[in-house]
Amino acid sequence: MDWKLLPHPRFAGPKGPVVLAILDGVGVGRGDEADAVKLAATPTLDRLAVPGLRTTLRAHGTAVGLPSDDDMGNSEVGHNALGCGRIHAQGALLVNRAIESGALFEGEVWRAAVERAARGGALHFLGLLSDGNVHSNIAHLEAMLRAAARAGAGRLYVHALLDGRDVPPTSAPIYVDRLEAVLAELRASGKDARIASGGGRMFVTMDRYESDWGIVERGWRAHVLGDGRRFASTSAAIEAFRAERPGVLDQDLPPFVIADGDRPVAPIADGDAVIMFNFRGDRAIEISRAFDDDDFDKFDRVRRPDVLYAGMMEYDGDLHVPRRFLVTPPSIEHTMGEILARNGVTQLAISETQKYGHVTYFWNGNRSGMFDDGLETYVEIPSDRVPFEQRPWMKAAEITDRLIDELRTGRHRLARVNYANGDMVGHTGSFDATVVAVETVDLQLARLARAVEELEGILVVTADHGNADEMYQHAKDGKVQRHKQTGEPVIRTSHSLNPVPLLIHDPARAGAAPYEIDGDRAAAAGIANVTATVLELMGHAAPADLEPSLLRFR
């Protein structure tokens, strides 16, 4: 592979740095009452939307390697696409293919897990119970349950993490009922097949970036130790929690353990096998480490059962987490970060904890480390540990403080920054807080734009997917759905299918830039095209294997 970057034949790049600002979850919506982005005061975004240097890009479905254009984009695949500049088949599509072809069930790890269950151990499935197709898909779980039963596994248990984030916020009963129907089918064939434990994804098991190991510990205690509030069924647990905490969303439900009388149905025990059926890595790594790591010190595991643990995919290709997995993840090489590092170009990546891994790990093609620690600087600003709707400003100001300080050192030719507010606050379903989140980011963008202007650089603004732009559900006729009893809008907490902005701010050439965005090319483009576009703005000829740049030079 040829790694050498050639100079652009018509543009030498700016005197100062090129800064790529990713406004996480800030899409371009319909401009109606559901659109917190449109209803927020965003004078900076408005000012930067210069004709000829603005467009919108697709950030979902096939444009980011997902199975269909009905699939929402997400931060993982979005940053993969932005970082590598190409479209790779992503987790959901790869797992679909492995199940449809039967390859998953022919693999060594799957056979070893089923063999344990056939010898009398239990086969446990742990993961997010929904069809959001962002972290997991219930259809994958159903296929594996049925295949394991056919292969002779007699004891099949599910540890169900409830979603309400990538799907409607109180939709858990729909997925629980769907799963219970499959489990009843298996019990009718003589299997012991039940839900064993669970809880809301944002409170149990699915932490990421080591933001709060207490989330993982709560999951461990419920899934492995059978330690938690006990109920006769998952439905009973959901009903009880909702009665006690009116308005609670599925994602925030406490841990629960299903019990026969006073005895937990199926704590994970020696001789069992455990399959984490999430295909997305960021929220599966920590629980995988709790099972796999010999020298684990993040919390007291009390006991570590002798199990065969496997992930749906390898969640971290550098650290090889987990040790065993069912489907080989996409091989993403020749990323922007590595191309620039091999050409001696300095880079800065910065965000707060909630999105730090996105501008590092996912950006680099699911690789944890740096390509060249002499050329790269990674900065993590610790996130607050409070509900996001209570601090919608999050750490945007602190990120901008540090980013501007770093830019003024003159060390960084390219900087990439993620502002997490639009996504993390948007997921809470709080409209007013999300408006504040968007306005916060706009204010910090104003500070960043002024710094870029002073340094004679170029600022590029985009997003990885939509979210804050569609805070309420829409009916097929395009109108906002409303509750029949109250007339209030139906809250939406998941990502949108809306496009995202691409804005270029080149203050040194205001009104006289030697380039513009090619409207015809942009009409069919996705966020993978941003990579080549940014390389050209830096003064490099974009490598031929990337999705093409959107710039047309005059």
DSSP string, 436-480: HHHHHHHHHHHHHHHHHHHHT-EEEEE-SSBSTT--B-B-TTSSB
Beta strands 54-57 and 155-162: pairing type? unpaired
CA-closest candidate to residue 283, choices 91, 23, 88, 61: 91
Q: State the Cα–Cα distance between residues 197 and 332, nearest whole angstrom.
A: 35
The pLDDT, as a whole number, for residue 318 is 66
Map tokens 């679909």 to a residue.
Answer: 96
pLDDT at site 367: 87
Where is 273: in which H helix or E strand?
strand 273-276
- Average pLDDT, integer, range 150-174: 96
Cα–Cα distances (Å) from 185 to 122, 146, 192, in that order, read 18, 9, 11
Only one residue has tokens 């669970």, namely 198
Q: What percent of the chain has pLDDT over 90?
A: 89
pLDDT(554) > 90: no
pTM of the model as a whole = 0.81
pLDDT at 281: 86
pLDDT band at 366 (very low <50, low <70, confident <90, very high): confident
pLDDT in tens, 390-421: 999 999 999 999 999 999 999 999 999 999 99
Residue 192 has pLDDT above 90, yes or no: yes
Homologous superfamily (CATH) of 18-89+331-553 is Alkaline Phosphatase, subunit A (3.40.720.10)
| pLDDT (0 to 100) of residue 291 | 98
What is d(CA 69, CA 88) in angstroms, rounded to the nearest whole number?
15
Average pLDDT over the chain reads 95
Judged on CB neighbours under 10 Å (0-12, 13-18, 19+), 322 is buried
Lowest mean pLDDT among 96-105, 448-457, 471-480: 471-480
Instruction: Give mean pLDDT, residues 93-118.
Output: 96
Q: Does domain 92-327 have CATH number 3.40.1450.10?
A: yes
Q: How confident is the model at residue 322 (pLDDT cuts 50, 70, 90)?
A: very high
Q: What is the pLDDT of residue 163?
A: 97
- Taking a C-beta distance cutoff of 8 angstroms, is the pair 128, 163 a contact? yes
Using CA atoms, how far apart are residues 2 and 92, in angstroms rounded to an integer?
31
The predicted structure's pLDDT at residue 442 = 98
- pLDDT(1) > 80: no
Please name the residue that has the structure tokens 């841990």. Answer: 255
Domain layout of the chain by residue ranges: 18-89+331-553, 92-327
**Residue 507: pLDDT above 80?**
yes
Q: pLDDT tens for residues 70-86?
A: 888 889 899 999 999 99
* CA 539/CA 407 separation, integer angstroms: 18
The secondary structure of 432-445, three-state, reads: HHHHHHHHHHHHHH
Residue corresponding to tokens 């962002």 = 134
Active site residue ranges: 75
Upstream peptide bond of 322 is cis (omega within 30 degrees of 0): yes
Question: Strand 347-352's sheet: what is its strand order?
Answer: 54-57, 500-505, 458-462, 18-23, 414-419, 347-352, 376-381
CA neighbor of 174 nearest in space, from 143, 124, 223, 131: 131
CB atoms within 10 A of CB 444: 25
Which candidate, 371, 421, 375, 370, places its Cα nearest to that of 395? 421
Lowest-confidence range among 221-235, 268-282, 321-335, 352-366?
321-335
